[in-house]
Chains A and B, each alone.
Chain A
Amino acid sequence: MTSHPTVVLVDDHALFRSGVRTEIEGADDAGARATVVGEAGDVDEAVRLILDREPDVVLLDVHMPGGGGAEILRRVHETRPGQRFLALSVSDEPEDVIRLIRAGARGYVTKTISGDELTAAIHTVHAGDAVFSPRLAGFVLDAFAGRSSGEITVTADPELDQLTDREREVLRLIARGYMYKEIARRLTISPKTVEHHVSAVLRKLQLSNRHELTRWATERRLVD
């Protein structure tokens, strides 16, 4: 596995793209750098570029005209199912975040994160692991507690619908701001096991279905 992942940037905000490019190509730690092999500003261009350049990681903005990041994910995965995506977003709305994870993104970061954190996230996704910000962990805890304001429908598989106690513990530690290494130390398990739990949660999020609750429940609470 190369230590310099190749990256394609997809964002309709050109100024933002150039800023990110500078950050990840010019990271202080040479080992942390990544190579940007392409930039795209709309859905069609992005799909074409990704299938052509075959990057290690695609940095993908959630809100793009023409269907958004989810559309790009869908189209690329039809041809290149192993392509890894890291979602980037201004929005902090649970629906947007979870929608993209369910569409296949391996993680989610907000646009306000530092350059260091961004390069670290790119490397994490490149290594095949999931990037879980504290905020995403909070959303996931909410979603599986039935409190998500997003749209998730029903399935019969109870295993997928629930988090195991261990998984919930790991998520809560992530939400509290712990790094994977720190979590491993605290739970006396190996960092690999932590990553394994996180990936399992990601898979559940992608495959699970649960009732749409919050809006309706709010009305009921008011009405009953």
Chain B
Amino acid sequence: MNPVPARITATLAVLVAAALVLAERQGTAPLQPLLGALTGVLVIAAAIARAGICRDRRNLRLALRDGRSTAPAAPVAGSRTVAGTVLILGGVIVALLTLQASLGISFWALLLLGAGGMVLWSQTSEAARTGAGGAPSGWQRLLGRRADHPNGAADRMIVASGIGLVVLGALVALSSLGALDATRTSVLQLIVALAAVLVVVAPFWLRLSRRAARERAERIRGDERAEVAAHLHDSVLQTLALIQRRGDDPREVAALARRQERELRLWLSGRSERPDVELMAALRAAAAAVEIEQAVEIEVVTSGEWPLDDRAAALLGAAREAMANAARHGGVDRVAVFAEVADGRIEVFVRDRGGGFDLDAVPTDRRGVRESIVGRMRRAGGHATISSSPGSGTEVELSLEIRS
């Protein structure tokens, strides 16, 4: 939702409220209820617009976290929403003051009633919008609820506090009207009547809400199953069919199986890899690519993560070259890669247990490649070390200083 309507409605609310105050001062009585009602409507509209902004911001955050790169339809600026909030709050306060003046109900009572109402409203609308897995609202974060651990106790506390505010507000309102003593009996009668109604209505209401919850759970399960089926169909079934056809080439079959296993494992874990943004994810992707190109097995072990800036990209390039080199010249089936972010450094080790080579007696083509790795790292402000000896294989060590 566009943030502009929020500002406009909030401004209008304040103006109308100011007009109301003036009107009251001048004693033009018939205008007051109308202006009061108008203020109320405008404030509510501004609050709705603000809620829309909140929702958009949260959706944006969720999108970033899930790695979706599509930009939101309407960019949301933080400063505008702050201004809008201030205007709305101002409008609300002025409106309540005028209501107090015209109806004689205490300002605090109205504030309590309003706050309680807003809390309850935010609770129900939050639940309706996000369902089981949504990101927590500000209230819920305040109470320590996390997105994927829906905390029933926190929700119940919020609802209870909302109801408490409303009741408190009503009591204060009644007492400020001087009607508390006189209406005590009638209030009790009212409470009894309400209780009777609740007892009658509650079971039906419970059944309805339970059925709604059940149906929603069913629907979610159905959706999930469809998603799993689609994913398996697109990936695993294809691979299994390929494997059946290429059964006579065990290396290719092993490679296919390995690739599919890795992909399925990643999908099952629910993690989202962002190889265009994160170094370790990019390293894994590069290893997967080299595995296919060179028909080797590359095991990547990582510790930590780092954003893929220019220097990290250079490190990635050097690592990829080292991997391809190990695969090509190592004469082995396996290459081991370890990457770690620690102690103000990123370090990547690419190791193979191949024949190894005498570092001094290196043929010219390999020397060129080696220079490329060393040179690339130097230009990025890091360095590369290659150690090798016949019999114990080769290890390329790449390191880059980072400011943590």
Contact: B338 with A134, CB < 8 Å? yes
Contacting chain A: which of B174-182, B221-229, B242-250, B296-304?
Answer: B296-304
Given contacts A134-B336, A222-B64, A222-B65, contact A175 B146 (CB under 8 A): no
Shortest beta-carbon distance from A48 to chain B in Å: 32
On chain B, the residues within 8 Å of A172 by CB distance are 338, 340
- Once the chains are docked, how many angstroms separate the CA of A153 from the CA of B227? 34
A8, CB-defined interface residue at 8 Å: no
Contact: A135 with B299, CB < 8 Å? yes
Proximity bits, A103-125, B CB within 8 Å = 1, else 0: 00000000010000000000000
Shortest beta-carbon distance from B331 to chain A in Å: 16
Option from A91, A112, A182 in Cβ contact (under 8 Å) with B392: A182
Contact: A138 with B65, CB < 8 Å? no
Contact: B304 with A93, CB < 8 Å? no
Given contacts A134-B301, A147-B304, A223-B61, contact A177 B338 (CB under 8 A): yes
Option from A91, A135, A223 in Cβ contact (under 8 Å) with B301: A135
Q: Which of B208-261 contact A (CB under 8 A)?
A: 258, 261
Contact: B64 with A176, CB < 8 Å? no
A137, CB-defined interface residue at 8 Å: yes
A142, CB-defined interface residue at 8 Å: yes
> Which of under 10, 10 to 19, 20 to 34, or 35 or more describes the interface residues of A?
20 to 34
On chain A, the residues within 8 Å of B147 by CB distance are 219
Contact: A141 with B340, CB < 8 Å? yes
B157, CB-defined interface residue at 8 Å: no
On chain B, the residues within 8 Å of A112 by CB distance are 258, 261
- Once the chains are docked, how many angstroms separate the CA of A135 from the CA of B269? 16
B195, CB-defined interface residue at 8 Å: no
Contact: A222 with B338, CB < 8 Å? no
- Once the chains are docked, how many angstroms separate the CA of A223 from the CA of B142? 13
Q: Which of A132-154 contact B (CB under 8 A)?
A: 134-135, 137-138, 141-142, 145, 147
Proximity bits, B147-190, A CB within 8 Å = 1, else 0: 11000000000000000000000000000000000000000000
Proximity bits, B332-363, A CB within 8 Å = 1, else 0: 00001010101000000101010000000000
Shortest beta-carbon distance from B70 to chain A in Å: 17
**Residue of B at shortest CB range from A182?**
B392
Q: Which of B376-395 contact A (CB under 8 A)?
A: 392, 395
Given contacts A141-B340, A215-B146, A216-B146, contact A134 B299 (CB under 8 A): yes
- Once the chains are docked, how many angstroms separate the CA of A126 from the CA of B258? 30
Contact: B303 with A176, CB < 8 Å? no
Given contacts A134-B336, A216-B146, A219-B146, contact A175 B392 (CB under 8 A): no
A79, CB-defined interface residue at 8 Å: no
A54, CB-defined interface residue at 8 Å: no
A-B contact pairs, 6 of them (CB 8 A): A92-B265, A93-B269, A138-B301, A145-B303, A176-B349, A215-B146
- Given A134-B301, A176-B336, 6 additional A-B pairs, CB 8 A: A138-B302, A147-B304, A176-B395, A219-B146, A219-B147, A223-B61
